Amino acid sequence: MKNTLAFLCLFLLITACSPSYKLLKVKKEDSFKLSDFPTYGFYDIEAKGDTVSQNFEKNVNIIKEAIAKNLQARGLDEARDPSLKINIALNVQEQLQTRQTDFRTDGLPRYMGQRRYSWKSEEVVTGKYREGTMVIDLVDAANNRMVWQGGASGIIPEKTKSFAQDINQVVSEIIAKIP
């Protein structure tokens, strides 16, 4: 019991220190510089998957505010007719965590009569979690071409005390990759 408790504490300490997301590979045009664009504006949100939650609109606004704050820190202003348009693509899917059964840990073969013992290995669902991907596209409004794309992907925690803070951290890391 003590070993299990110690392992659980160590696991929680390690996972608390590391982010639960990874940044996606950045795509950009060679001549793109953020300083060439004085204003920005948002496209409508494109969302797929499990987006019917009651907090979806609130969470989208948190993402937009985080992007706006980071772009304003880089010297851009929000405008109705922007020179740089921002598209946010979100994809949230529920995933199943499974494990393979093993006769050494899941019991002995069952007696089926007539000296026939049977045991089959199966996949057993052990949990469910939601995985999300957020992609930010920057589009040159003058010629309607994508000039930069970046994003992040990771597991979305069921309950978080600081969703806005987590989003701000992810978005600031994504925006920091813009040249």
CATH of the domain at 169: 3.30.160.670
- Of the candidates 89, 24, 93, which has an alpha carbon nearest to the alpha carbon of residue 60? 89
Kindly report the number of other CB atoms within 10 A of residue 87's CB atom.
16
Residue 107 lies in a domain: no
Pair 166, 155: CB distance under 8 Å: no
Q: Rounded distance, CA 119 to CA 125, Å? A: 18
In this structure, is residue 145 part of a structural domain? yes
pLDDT 10s digits, 89-146:
888 888 888 888 776 666 666 555 666 666 667 787 888 888 889 999 999 999 999 9
| Residues whose CB is less than 8 angstroms from the CB of residue 71 and which lie 6 or more positions away in sequence, other chains included | 40, 86, 175
8 part of a folded domain: no
Report if residue 6 sits inside a domain: no
Residue 153 inside a domain? The answer is yes
**45 within domain boundaries:** yes
Residue 164 belongs to a domain: yes
Which structural domain range is residue 152 located in?
A: 17-96+122-176
The answer to the question of residue 80 being in a domain is yes
Question: Does pLDDT of 174 surpass 90?
Answer: yes
Neighbours of 63 (CB within 10 A): 20
Q: Give pLDDT, residue 125.
A: 84
Average pLDDT over residues 8-26: 59
Partnered with residue 148 across adjacent β-strands are 28, 138
Report the number of distinct structural domains present in the chain: 1
Q: What is the pLDDT of residue 113?
A: 61
